[in-house]
Amino acid sequence: MYENEDSAPVRYDLLVVGSANADLVIGVDRRPAPGETVLGSDLAVHPGGKGANQAVAAARLGARTALLARVGDDAHGRLLLESQQDAGVETGGVLVGGAPTGVALITVDPSGDNSIVVSPGANARLTPEDIKAAGPLFRAARVVSVQLEVPLETVAEAARSLAPGSRLVLNPSPPAPLPEDVLTACDPLVVNEHEARYILGILGDTAGPAPEDWTRTLLTHGPRSVVVTLGAAGALVADGRTADCVRVPSPEVDAVDTTGAGDAFTAALAWRLGLGEDLAAAAAFAVRVGAAAVTGQGAQASFPTAAEVAAL
Ligand code: RIB
């Protein structure tokens, strides 16, 4: 299946294993308190999901990208497949059926910040057996990127399925306890502030250590490298091979909607690492991609091309 017309094996810059959701988005002046009802904007329905978002972001930048995911046999599933195909993503690994397509209920406030509740649907039916059946895709991929909107045992099987010389990038979102063999395979582990605090067990400790300290401490949990994203403040990167911790600044932009910006960042980072860039250089490119992605509405619709990143 993964051969071109001359039977030469196809190589993918990036294989994304993860979720595909229909994003149901409402703009709100403020989020309701428990027991309260607020009125919001008209409903918008966008293709989303952390896995599907990463695949579209990478392909739009020019990466040869494949997606391994599961959607329902329904209108949302068709919307997601169409957006992948429009972006040029290889969708032979997108399985159809078993449950309705995943749905994300998203509110976006005037500052562009979002809150998300996901109903996993078909994403929860992406099994370790589905990963084992996709051996040719894993053998063809330089980098494999995973997140946690699919079952943890599926993520663990993906980590075990890496071909020699390929690299695993994990964004543990939404955060969950990670098995040691998954953590030690990460190169890098990509976390935002909330995910970093969760892994470090300091969720309520807002006066705790500085982000530079978390980044170094996260390395001691096993990953080969760590990237901490800090929104408008850029990112911190630390490589276990050098133990250096480097801050990468972000360009200043006017944020409209932050949905999917982290996915665009991670996809860009994973792609550039696969091309052989070092962690700081790949992160310097990725923060520009993430910054561009917050300037438009929705997740995938706001992801930039390489030319748009260069013009930022
Ligand atoms: O990271 C943003 C994504 O999170 C949204 O597209 C939504 O589907 C949820 O998965």
H or E element that contains 66: strand 65-71
Q: To 5 degrees, how large is the angle CA 170–CA 172–CA 176?
A: 140
Q: Is 47 left (phi over 0), alpha (psi -120 to 50) or beta?
A: beta
Which CATH number does the domain housing residue 249 bear? 3.40.1190.20
- Could you tell me if 21 and 49 are in contact, meaning their C-beta atoms sit under 8 angstroms apart? yes
pLDDT digits (tens, 9 = 90+) for 58-92: 999 999 999 999 999 999 999 999 999 999 999 99
Q: For residue 6, what pLDDT band results from cuts at 50, 70 and 90?
A: low
Inside any domain, residue 72? yes
| Residue-averaged pLDDT of the chain | 94
Residue 90, beta-bridge partner list:
66
Residue 7 lies in a domain: no
Asked if the structure places residue 127 within a domain, the reply is: yes
**How far are the Cα atoms of 105, 106, 181, 257, 296 from residue 46, in angstroms, in the given order?**
11, 11, 35, 13, 13
Measure 96 CA to ligand 1 centroid, in angstroms.
19
Give yes or no for a contact between 25 and 259, defined as CB atoms under 8 angstroms apart.
yes
Query: With 80 as the cut, is the pLDDT of residue 143 above it?
Result: yes
Its domain, for residue 58, covers 12-310
- Distance separating alpha carbons of residues 209 and 42, to the nearest angstrom: 42
Residue in 13, 187, 239, 263 annotated catalytic: 263
Domain assignment of residue 2, yes or no? no
pLDDT in tens, 42-60: 999 999 999 999 999 999 9
State whether the beta carbon of 53 lies less than 6 angstroms from ligand 1: yes
The pLDDT-based confidence of 257 (bands split at 50, 70, 90) is confident
Q: Report yes or no on 34 lying in a domain.
A: yes
Instruction: For residues 288 and 310, give the distance between their C-alpha atoms in angstroms, rounded to a whole number.
Output: 9
Tell me if 4 is assigned to some domain: no
288, pLDDT greater than 50: yes
Phi-psi category of residue 45: left, alpha or beta, with phi > 0 → left and psi -120 to 50 → alpha: beta
Domain contains 5: no
Does residue 21's CB lie within 6 angstroms of at least one atom of ligand 1? yes
Handedness of CA 285, 203, 152, 168 (dihedral sign): positive
263 is catalytic: yes
12 — pLDDT class (breaks 50, 70, 90): very high
The alpha carbon of 233 and the centre of ligand 1 are apart by a number of angstroms equal to: 21
For residue 47, how far is its CA from the centre of ligand 1 (angstroms)? 9
Task: Supply the DSSP string of 90-127, one letter for each residue.
Answer: B-TTEEE-SSPPEEEEEEE-TTS-EEEEEE-GGGGG--
Residue 4 reports pLDDT greater than 90: no
Please report which confidence band the pLDDT of residue 241 belongs to, taking 50, 70 and 90 as the band edges: confident
How much is the pTM? 0.94
- Decide whether any atom of ligand 1 lies within 6 Å of the 102 Cβ: no
Overall number of domains in the chain = 1
pLDDT above 80 for 5: no
Say if 264 falls within a structural domain. Answer: yes
